[in-house]
A and B are shown apart, each in its own frame.
Chain A
Amino acid sequence: MKYSVMLAAVGILGAGTAVAQQPIKIGVLYPLTGGGAVYGVPALAGHQLAIEELNAKGGIMGRKVESIERDDKLNPASASSTMKELITKDKVDIVLGGLSSAVGLAMSEVSKQEKVVYIATIPKTIQMTTDKLHKYVFRTASNTDFEGDTMAMLAGKNKLSKICHLELDYAYGNDLEVGILKALPKHAPNAKIVLTLKPKLGATDFNPFIPQVMAAGCDGVLSGLWGPHFVSWVKQAAPLGFFNKIKWISGGEIGSHEIAGELKGEYPDNVISNAYELWYAGNDPSHKEFQARLAKKLNTQETPQWAALGYIGVMYAAAAMEKAKSTDPDKVSAALEGLTIGTPVGKLTIDAKTHQANIGQFWGPMVKKPDRAYRMMEPAEYIQPK
């Protein structure tokens, strides 16, 4: 009896001192294996850079920050169970990350059930900040409505009249299609969509689609084919002279250096696309220094764009906790609403109602450079929601 009382007392004392020094735990999920790792791994590098910098400056509210990192495997079911484990077993104070829109929706659902704040740093589906919005979910990535609006604007600017529309058949592609169709009458009233094709997510063989687009006689393509989808399309379509006459206006960040640097001379003509961040261009004085730190961490001058998204997510989590002076999810959620912070891509504000940050993207044509082996976006215009 006495013994157990003593034990309990020790336990309480121990708990008391532990609370004072306990680190703040930030849980993060990115795809670190399989097809999504191309983006998840650099995003995590940016996340880690932000955590290192926070700790070097004394952490959040004077407490050290611990980052607990997990693989979401690009799979909603797996992301959901891993996130639950992070919350119940590791007792994380906040969860960041996600890449695919399907994973983002699954993580948002867990955040709602468990009442833990989730900041979506890459998933773009508009549903997260409209129909499926709740108190604990926030987004620091762009979204399909804004991306669609910009693409429609570019279709108008480039005077497209007959458009072929390509989207991948899953949450992101379908929502981006809605975003484009909503904005097209406003920005390009004379444009007509003559053909819509939806290859499946993960498709590597686009030969069933390429001849159809070439036969449709469109002067431009609006495309949501990202990463490897775009690369495989280029590989299969370019030998036919596909890109000679057709303007390719694309979302999905195929204007990023990751794609341009890999395709090099194979990157086709007539592409206009976007990127969250470009190592060679910035819209904010702080970008140069951020890029230099990232280059040092990754040991390459030509840094990937995804790191910035992982980085901004941590910055927002830290700023919200400092503002709330607490890690309590309700207080952190309240603090995030309307919160403005400075980031490597300029000042961002999270809308108090929609929980969406007004992050923009660089857009521009991908042009050849005489002194480089790869194409660069030039001019790169930062387009941000008003």
Chain B
Amino acid sequence: MTLTMFTLNAFYGLALAMNMFIIASGLNLIFGVLRVINFAHGMFYMFGAYITFTVAKSWGAPFFVGVLAAAAALGLIAFAIERLLLRHLYDREHLMQLLFTFALVLLMSDAAKMIWGTDQYSVGYPPGLGGAINLGFVVLPQYQLFLCAIGPLIAVAMWLLVDRTRWGRVVRAATQDREMLAALGVNVPMVYAAVFTIGSALAGVGGALAAPRIALVPGMDATIINECFIIVIIGGLGNLWGSFLGALAFGFVVQFGTVLAPNWQDVLPYLLMLVVLLIRPWGLLGRPETN
């Protein structure tokens, strides 16, 4: 592999990782606080992409208005779902929650079919990000560079929010002992609702940002949810920087692995998860469960 090829592959791996991190971090946040495994997260991602299509292409608004619209819409949808339905299930067994989020997948996929039909859609690159930058020995596409910048920004923003604000302290406390927190006068149900809203809005943003570089088709939710789970699991469930690391590992393994061993492209992410789980069953930055 020449230096040019190596740089290109490393760069593409990074761009993929950052796009995946934005989506997976929302799933991870929700699991960390609510302890709910949200199967509908991939569907939220797909809705984010489709909403961006409607706003940016059908209505002709600027692309980034579409991204904000996707975040807002998914936040609203998630808030309604949490307040009306999900909150009744926190004290039920995990199986009920799984069935519920799985039912959401089916309902939302039918809703998507009613709203957008079954056509294939595409969203154009935002102006100024549709070209490439020539660095002499390698040519890098601008949009992927943009993804490489926005991923760490979101990671730092989430870290500041959860680790450096009073509200973040409340959120962290909710993961430890929510009865105690409620006894101290904190409105725990609203904390849960806010976390579910933010986590789902991140899926919407992830879908919106993915939209210009892929075809939008029904079913695009299916693979993404598996990949998000892989990232969250190898990073350590509930750990923000774990998900960041998990996304990097995923991006590089998929990019370099597919180049070097194309016949293994289907199983590469799963192999990565298997290896990590064999060495550290609680994930890269997770902590072993102590009860």
Binding site for B on A (CB under 8 A): 32-38, 40-41, 74, 169, 197-200, 202-205, 207-209, 211-212, 215, 227-229, 231-232, 235-236, 239-241, 258-259, 262-263, 265-266
Determine if B12 is an interface residue (Cβ-Cβ < 8 Å): yes
B220 contact set on A, CB distance < 8 A: 35, 204
Q: Is the CB of A228 within 8 A of B255?
A: no
Q: Is the CB of A207 within 8 A of B16?
A: yes
A236 contact set on B, CB distance < 8 A: 141, 213
Determine if B156 is an interface residue (Cβ-Cβ < 8 Å): no
B9 contact set on A, CB distance < 8 A: 208, 211
A281 to B60, CA, bound (A): 31
Q: Is the CB of A240 within 8 A of B218?
A: no
Determine if B5 is an interface residue (Cβ-Cβ < 8 Å): yes
B16 contact set on A, CB distance < 8 A: 205, 207
Are A239 and B131 CB-contacts (below 8 A) given A35-B217, A231-B215? yes
7 contacts between A and B (CB under 8 A): A33-B219, A204-B223, A207-B144, A208-B255, A228-B217, A236-B213, A259-B120
A204 to B23, CA, bound (A): 16
Closest B residue to A32 using CB positions: B118
A262 to B124, CA, bound (A): 11
Interface stretch, picked from B162-170, B239-247, B259-267, is B259-267
A248 to B159, CA, bound (A): 46
Q: Is the CB of A262 within 8 A of B258?
A: no
A228 contact set on B, CB distance < 8 A: 120, 214-215, 217
B109 contact set on A, CB distance < 8 A: 33-34
Determine if B54 is an interface residue (Cβ-Cβ < 8 Å): no
Known: A33-B113, A239-B132. 14 other contacts (CB 8 A): A33-B219, A34-B219, A40-B118, A197-B262, A200-B265, A204-B214, A204-B220, A208-B265, A211-B5, A215-B5, A227-B215, A240-B141, A265-B124, A266-B122
Q: Is the CB of B218 within 8 A of A232?
A: no
Are A38 and B254 CB-contacts (below 8 A) given A208-B9, A211-B5, A266-B124? no
Closest A residue to B11 using CB positions: A207
Q: Is the CB of A38 within 8 A of B259?
A: no
Report how many A-B pairs have Cβ atoms within 8 Å: 111
B110 to chain A, nearest CB (A): 8
Closest A residue to B118 using CB positions: A37
Closest B residue to A201 using CB positions: B266
A265 contact set on B, CB distance < 8 A: 124
Determine if B153 is an interface residue (Cβ-Cβ < 8 Å): no
Q: Is the CB of B120 within 8 A of A262?
A: yes
Binding site for A on B (CB under 8 A): 4-5, 8-9, 12, 15-16, 109-110, 113, 117-122, 124-125, 130-132, 139, 141-144, 212-215, 217-220, 222-223, 254-255, 258-259, 262, 265-266
Partner of A212, one of B131, B213, B218, B259: B259
A202 contact set on B, CB distance < 8 A: 223
A235 to B113, CA, bound (A): 24
B214 contact set on A, CB distance < 8 A: 204-205, 228, 231-232, 235
A232 to B9, CA, bound (A): 18
A209 to chain B, nearest CB (A): 8
Q: Is the CB of B143 within 8 A of A239?
A: yes
Partner of A207, one of B12, B121, B217: B12
Closest B residue to A199 using CB positions: B265
A65 to B235, CA, bound (A): 57
A265 to B16, CA, bound (A): 25
B254 contact set on A, CB distance < 8 A: 205, 208
A372 to chain B, nearest CB (A): 17
Q: Is the CB of A239 within 8 A of B223?
A: no
A178 to B201, CA, bound (A): 46
Partner of A262, one of B4, B5, B121, B262: B121
Closest B residue to A236 using CB positions: B213
Partner of B218, one of A35, A235, A239, A259: A35
Are A207 and B255 CB-contacts (below 8 A) given A200-B266, A240-B132? yes
A15 to B126, CA, bound (A): 66
B60 to chain A, nearest CB (A): 13
A37 contact set on B, CB distance < 8 A: 113, 118, 218-219
B118 contact set on A, CB distance < 8 A: 32, 37-38, 40-41
A122 to chain B, nearest CB (A): 15
Are A33 and B218 CB-contacts (below 8 A) given A198-B262, A208-B255? yes
Q: Is the CB of A235 within 8 A of B223?
A: no
B143 contact set on A, CB distance < 8 A: 239
Q: Is the CB of A262 within 8 A of B266?
A: no
A36 to B118, CA, bound (A): 9
Closest B residue to A204 using CB positions: B214
A148 to chain B, nearest CB (A): 21
B54 to chain A, nearest CB (A): 14
A216 to chain B, nearest CB (A): 12
A236 to B143, CA, bound (A): 9
B266 contact set on A, CB distance < 8 A: 200
Q: Is the CB of B132 within 8 A of A211?
A: no
Partner of B215, one of A32, A41, A169, A232: A232
Partner of B139, one of A74, A208, A240: A240
The 6 closest A-B pairs by CB, nearest first: A35-B219, A228-B215, A231-B215, A208-B258, A34-B219, A37-B118
